[in-house]
Amino acid sequence: MLEFIKMHGLGNDFIIFDGINQDLPDHNELAKKVCDRHFGIGADGMMVVKQSSSSDIKMLFYNADGSQAPMCGNGIRCFAKYVFDEKLVRGKEFEVETLAGIMRPRIISSEEKISFIEVNLGRAYFSSEMIHANTNKEKILNESIEIDGNTFKISAVVVGSVHAVIFVDDLNKIDINVIGRKIENHQLFPNKINVNFCQIIDDTNLQVLTWERGVGQTLACGTGAASAAVVGSILYNTSKKVNVHLLGGTVEIEQRDNEIFMTGPAEVICKGVYYDK
């Protein structure tokens, strides 16, 4: 029996296991089982809490298909609430070790069910080498890509995880289940990529639809929202502080001192025991 908590950030839902005080089976297989919405608990991803030798705490993140990802924006807010509530860290500001580097959450307000949390996501990186893109170009910024006879302008960036950002005039005309999947698996990205379609509402408001690598369409993606905000400010001179409207709600993204700060909610859904076979 494995104790777990299920949480969500703007509808992007996760299962969190304490990997310090209980022994867990193979993480990849466990993620596939528990994230299954029919035979498991059901979630977009799974996180495991571990001790860290370099930070206050360590987060391991797994997609619903069992693959490991460096980080997750909505996920780390939920992770931060959990370790704060369970007193696994001290204070309202702490460091979290992830495969994407050190993240620095700050608890703004905290109640039993819901908390609001700001996370320093660090810097954005455009290097094609970091993105593992199949190209000789140093970066992919507003480059043309053809999908089913239609041309899209694509930018690729690393903000915690690797993201493709495509600005469009009308999100309603995007069949994300078709186009999102094809860009995720495009030969340009041999390791696959998260895909974000963005529509500019005005200088301080963006609307984003996200197709997550290894998951599919999700209600929200924090690092995807951050990626869209960064690319928008470069290509279209949108504000350095924007509200990004996602299917599950709104997250605030602010760029200051060459770093990216994300502020949004983390909410508890339930706690329970998972019976692993």
Specify binding-site residues for substrate. Answer: 12, 63, 73-74, 194, 212-213, 222-223
Q: Name 269's Cβ contacts closer than 8 Å, sequence gap at least 6.
A: 6, 7, 8, 13
| Residue 21 structural domain | 2-121+264-274
Looking at the structure, tell me whether residues 110 and 159 fall in a common domain: no
Q: Does 135 share its domain with 251?
A: yes
Q: How many domains does the chain have?
A: 2
Active site residues: 72, 221
The per-residue pLDDT for 117 is 97
CATH number at residue 191: 3.10.310.10
Per residue in 27-75, pLDDT (tens digit) is: 999 999 999 999 999 999 999 999 999 999 999 999 999 999 988 989 9
User: What digits encode the pLDDT tens for the residues 219-247?
Assistant: 999 999 999 999 999 999 999 999 999 99
CA dist., res. 223 & res. 245, Å (int): 13
Residues 38 and 102 in one domain: yes
Angle at Cα 242 formed by Cα 44 and Cα 170, nearest 5°? Answer: 70
Looking at the fold, whether 16 and 103 belong to one and the same domain comes out as yes
Q: Same domain, yes or no, for 109 and 174?
A: no
Q: Is the domain of 251 the same as that of 133? A: yes
Mean pLDDT of 208-228: 93
Angle at 67 between CA 63 and CA 72, to 5 degrees: 40
Percentage of the chain exceeding pLDDT 70: 100
Q: What is the DSSP letter of 144?
A: E
Q: Based on the fold, state whether residues 168 and 237 are members of the same structural domain.
A: yes
